[in-house]
Amino acid sequence: MKRTSSTENYLLIGHVLAMAFGLAGIILVLPNVDFQAKLAQFEWGSTIFGWSMAGGGVVYMLLATAAVALYAYRTLGLWHWLSFMIPAIALSLFSELLGTSTGFPFGEYRYLSGLGYKIAGLVPFTIPLSWFYLGFSAYIIALAGLKRLEISHWLSQLGAIVFGSLCLTSWDFVLDPAMSQAPIPFWVWDQPGAFFGMPYQNFAGWMGTGIVFMTVATLLWKVKPLYIPNNDLQLPLAIYLANFVFATVLSLAAGFYIPVLLGIVLGIVPLIVLYWMATKQPISSSKNDLVTAKQPATINN
């Protein structure tokens, strides 16, 4: 079996490189006026810096979305791919539009420039995509790990929803303080909260939104038999870890250490344990196991 298609690998590499390029711009270029002046002396320097500010954030999210979408289609099939992606994008967009309009469920905030075209003038189109690719990556690893335990079918699904949403929220612990307080912020809180400028309500909104769309996907996945790719989870793990590292570097550069620690304890540790369970533990022979004997055809690139 070809575990990871070459196209997925190229998209993942591009995603990581784009994030590294963005980190360099946010941490090294934006705070350094003298460096910006020297860069502006060269035509190529001004061009690259302008492109980075205008679309750097868009590129890395589009590449991750494409990588995870291709992975989901290759390993799970068309139905399970779309029945997760569509609810994830639609319901997270609804939450974001509601949040930027009313303050519920995240708190009072608004998006600035740098993340692409804004839907209804409020939410960048890339934001629901990040909910999808991070949410899927966390959920599929959690489900694969919990299916190895001798627990009931419904309990493993419930656990996947809870742990998947927790890992998704833990990523925001680390990302949100830094991105909203960067030299050029990507969003701002109109009512700053007690958690490094964010209201605690924000995390309840993240957890709740993740639980809702993962529950919808779980119910839709019951329509057809599901093959869980226990030995093919490298790409979702790499996507989650790469985005967590991106957020960690930003937070540490801003001096935010506690969010990073919380993210590691509540996000990284559970996900690594679940990944280990999925790939190392013996396959359960329980009659409730959802894994089917036949795997969807792989994509050869």
> Is 237:271 a contact under the CB 8 Å cutoff?
yes
pLDDT tops 70 at residue 162: yes
pLDDT, mean of residues 200-204: 96
pLDDT of residue 295: 47
> Is 95:186 a contact under the CB 8 Å cutoff?
no
Q: Using CA atoms, how far apart are residues 215 and 69, in angstroms rounded to an integer?
A: 19
pLDDT tops 60 at residue 106: yes
Q: Using CA atoms, how far apart are residues 236 and 211, in angstroms rounded to an integer?
A: 19
> Is 171:165 a contact under the CB 8 Å cutoff?
no
Segment 236-278, tens digit of pLDDT: 999 999 999 999 999 998 899 999 999 999 999 999 999 999 9
pLDDT tops 70 at residue 48: no
> Is 233:136 a contact under the CB 8 Å cutoff?
no
- Neighbouring C-beta atoms of residue 280, cutoff 10 Å: 10
Q: Using CA atoms, how far apart are residues 101 and 76, in angstroms rounded to an integer?
A: 36
pLDDT tops 70 at residue 8: yes
pLDDT tops 60 at residue 290: no
pLDDT tops 60 at residue 294: no
pLDDT, mean of residues 198-216: 97
Q: How far apart, in Å, do the first and last CA atoms of the chain sit?
A: 13
Q: Using CA atoms, how far apart are residues 239 and 121, in angstroms rounded to an integer?
A: 29
Is residue 96 in some structural domain?
A: yes
Is residue 272 in some structural domain?
A: yes
- Of 179 and 260, the structure prediction assigns the larger pLDDT to 260
Q: How confident is the model at residue 49 (pLDDT cuts 50, 70, 90)?
A: low
- Of 239 and 51, the structure prediction assigns the larger pLDDT to 239
> To the nearest whole number, what is the mean pLDDT of the chain?
87
- Of 38 and 68, the structure prediction assigns the larger pLDDT to 68
pLDDT tops 70 at residue 293: no
pLDDT tops 70 at residue 50: no
pLDDT tops 80 at residue 35: no
pLDDT, mean of residues 176-200: 88
What tokens appear for 278 in the block?
A: 């999925």
Is residue 301 in some structural domain?
A: no
Q: Using CA atoms, how far apart are residues 263 and 31, in angstroms rounded to an integer?
A: 26
What tokens appear for 272 in the block?
A: 């690594």
Is residue 288 in some structural domain?
A: no
Give the range among 103-112, 136-145, 222-231, 287-296 with minimum mean pLDDT. 287-296
Is residue 294 in some structural domain?
A: no
Q: Which domain holds residue 223?
A: 6-280
- Neighbouring C-beta atoms of residue 288, cutoff 10 Å: 13
Segment 119-155, tens digit of pLDDT: 999 999 999 999 999 999 999 999 999 999 988 999 9
Percent of the chain with pLDDT over 70: 82
Overall number of domains in the chain: 1
DSSP codes, the chain = ---S-HHHHHHHHHHHHHHHHHHHIIIIITT-HHHHHHHHTSHHHHHHHHHHHHHHHHHHHHHHHHHHHHHHHHHH-HHHHHHHHHHHHHHHHHHHHHHHHH-TTT-SEEE-SSS-PEETTTEETHHHHHHHHHHHHHHHHHHHHHTTSSS-HHHHHHHHHHHHHHHHHHHHHHHHHHHHSSSS-SEEESS-BTBTBB-THHHHHHHHHHHHHHHHHHHHHTTS-B---TT--HHHHHHHHHHHHHHHHHHHHTT--HHHHHHIIIIIHHHHHHHHHHHHSPPP--TT--B-S-PPPPPP-
Q: Using CA atoms, how far apart are residues 199 and 193, in angstroms rounded to an integer?
A: 4
The answer for residues whose C-beta is within 8 angstroms of residue 201's C-beta and 6 or more apart is 105, 106, 107, 193
Percent of the chain with pLDDT over 90: 69
The answer for residues whose C-beta is within 8 angstroms of residue 53's C-beta and 6 or more apart is 25, 114, 184
Is residue 297 in some structural domain?
A: no
Is residue 84 in some structural domain?
A: yes
Q: What is the CA radius of gyration of the chain?
A: 20
